[in-house]
Homo-oligomer: A and B are copies of this chain.
Amino acid sequence: MTTIDIPEDSPFGFANLPYGVFSTPGTRPRIGVRVADWVVDLAAALGDDVFAQPTLNPFMAQGHRRWAEVRDRVTELVSGQVPDKAAHPLGSVRMHLPIQVGDYVDFYASEHHAANLGRLFRPGAPPLMPNWKHLPVGYHGRAGTVVVSGTDIVRPCGQLKAPDEDAPRFGASRRLDIEAELGFIVGTGSPLGTPVACDDFAEHVFGAVLVNDWSARDIQSWEYVPLGPFLGKSFATSISAWVVPLQALEAARVPTPPQEPKPLDYLREGEPWGLDIDLTVQWNGQEVSRPPYREMYWSPAQMLAHMTVNGAATRTGDLFASGTVSGPGKHQRGAFIELTWGGKEPVQVNGESRDFLQDGDEVVISATAPASTGGHLSFGEVRGRVLPALTSE
């Protein structure tokens, strides 16, 4: 038996217990829980086949009562001794995409981000569109290109047209960017014709991950009118390997910033689902931004209520992301297009000047939240490195 030593200040202690899908050399992907620097194999420890599956979906589909029950059992398990065959040092495992993604929706819930992008993309016009404070603006992204942290990102090619050029040309994106976001995973779906009320959020949402919504700004700016972003985003979206259970975020719940005008009834929360989470963005190992999630105008409960108010069904594995997390300060911007103001104000990264991403650059987004036991819990990280485009120009 293995006794797992959990340092008192560990961000992966009893207050966290995130789920992921891991494998060790020569074995199949299965479900584990991270505790300190260990991964506990749940199928091996609890003898339940639902944890021997290669995604969290079958477990998530069992519903929120079951999630709470398993969390209690896991707490008990890691408090005592874990069978040796179920305890793997973190360094010995490989992590996989934890969910089979159903639909992927990306919102646009930071007022600071939306206003900054409005100023950059539509200079001279009001920074926020008239609808922005009435509803959480969102759109569907590509579910099939959601990848797990650590996956390399090949620089995308596509049509590029500068405002002063007559026609587009084909080439590799020169304005490759990130968007630091939080993503929410639907555990229990809702049938067609059944809106999910804000206050039923915790019955449906299993947990949260970090998201890097890689964005090719030059492809996006030429293609996105009138039907929205498409190839500028669809080449890859990275998520963190560890899914932090919603139950672990109770201590992080805070009200959203004041919403004026008051939203329509279906968007009003009984209990707040703003989240006091601090993200950190590292560019080649240097911290360049600390986006505060607590500044997000719309809460994830409001996002889910909006997404389903027309009767749209949700499914186990649906992923909806917050959109870029940006705060009011320059050092709080979650996308490089904002941080460098469209490339006009480069930042220094390890002594080199950067506007957008260069080949070989690596971005790591991490986050912490207050833990119910005091101290903080960690979301782990979402990491990605940029590889050169496949096409020579």
Q: Which residues from chain A sit less than 8 Å from chain B, CB to CB?
A: 102-103, 108, 118, 121-122, 129, 131, 134-135, 137-145, 147, 154, 156-159, 161, 167-170, 192-193, 195, 216, 219, 222-232, 234-236, 261, 264-266, 306-307, 309-315, 318, 390
* Minimum CB–CB distance for A150 against chain B, Å: 14
Q: Can you report 7 residue pairs joining A to B where beta carbons are below 8 Å apart?
A: A108-B227, A140-B140, A140-B142, A144-B312, A144-B315, A156-B310, A192-B236
Residues in B neighbouring A161, C-beta threshold 8 A: 131, 134
Residues in B neighbouring A170, C-beta threshold 8 A: 264-266
User: Closest residue of chain B to A106, judged by CB?
Assistant: B227
Residues in B neighbouring A265, C-beta threshold 8 A: 170
- In angstroms, Cα B193 to Cα A266, docked, is 41
Contacts A134-B168, A225-B131 known; A158 to B234 CB distance under 8 Å?
A: no
Whether A192 pairs with B147 at a CB distance below 8 angstroms is yes
* Minimum CB–CB distance for A282 against chain B, Å: 24
Residues in B neighbouring A103, C-beta threshold 8 A: 142-144
Contacts A225-B129, A228-B227 known; A309 to B121 CB distance under 8 Å?
A: no
Which of B102, B223, B306 makes the CB contact (< 8 A) with A144? Answer: B102
Which of B168, B223, B228, B315 makes the CB contact (< 8 A) with A229? Answer: B228
Residues in B neighbouring A144, C-beta threshold 8 A: 102-103, 312-315, 318
- In angstroms, Cα B228 to Cα A159, docked, is 19
- In angstroms, Cα B307 to Cα A167, docked, is 20
Whether B264 pairs with A234 at a CB distance below 8 angstroms is no
Q: Which 6 interchain pairs have the tightest Cβ spacing?
A: A228-B228, A156-B310, A140-B140, A139-B227, A227-B228, A231-B310
Residues in B neighbouring A157, C-beta threshold 8 A: 195, 309-311
